[in-house]
Amino acid sequence: MVVKAWTLDRIRELPESAQRTLYERAKTRADGDYIIALMDDAGLKPKPKLMSYTDPVYRQMVQIGKSSSGKAAMEAAAAKGEPALCGFDRLLQSRLGEDYSESRCPGTIMSAGSIVAEIMPKLGYVRARKSACVEGCMAREGIVWLKG
């Protein structure tokens, strides 16, 4: 049986879910560094998944987001023209410590953005644009929200 070598073109032809599987399996194989480097260099590193709704850290994040201090942090960032995620991100860092990190709990940052996207419209805000997050945030970018 002939095994076909992985090429960038072959990887690009795969659906996103298969690319994720290939990447994850490559991390567990001794010869997987080639595939990881190939995908990373081409910008094909899989996006992190959202956390499970049953994850205890996720539940804490939702509770913090729905609290008055969580909403205030999001609105304060929005009032400064920053992504609302920036205010929530800093609050999560202070409340959750190391649990709010991709290395310890994969999907935390993506999930934080999802929580903000669920809460801000309920507070009367509309999406304006994407913007880079301010220094000190774990998230790289988020949505700037305007009062609607």
**pLDDT tens for each residue of 7-17:** 999 999 988 88
Residue 3: pLDDT band by 50, 70, 90 thresholds?
low
Would you kindly state where each structural domain of the chain is located, as residue ranges?
Answer: 8-41, 56-147
Residue 24: pLDDT band by 50, 70, 90 thresholds?
confident
Q: With contact defined as beta carbons under 8 Å apart, do 87 and 134 qualify?
A: no
Question: What integer pLDDT is reported at residue 2 of this predicted model?
Answer: 62
Strand 141-147 and strand 125-132: the pairing is antiparallel
Q: What average pLDDT score do residues 47-60 get? A: 87
**For residues 134 and 139, what is the distance between their CA atoms, to the nearest angstrom?**
9
Question: What integer pLDDT is reported at residue 27 of this predicted model?
Answer: 85
The yes-or-no verdict on residue 143 having pLDDT over 70 is yes
Question: What integer pLDDT is reported at residue 15 of this predicted model?
Answer: 87
Q: With contact defined as beta carbons under 8 Å apart, do 112 and 48 qualify?
A: no
pLDDT tens, residue by residue, 57-67: 999 999 999 99
Beta bridge partners of 125: 147
The tokens describing 126, both together, are 């509309």
The yes-or-no verdict on residue 132 having pLDDT over 80 is yes
Residue 28: pLDDT band by 50, 70, 90 thresholds?
confident
Global pTM? 0.71
Question: What integer pLDDT is reported at residue 1 of this predicted model?
Answer: 63
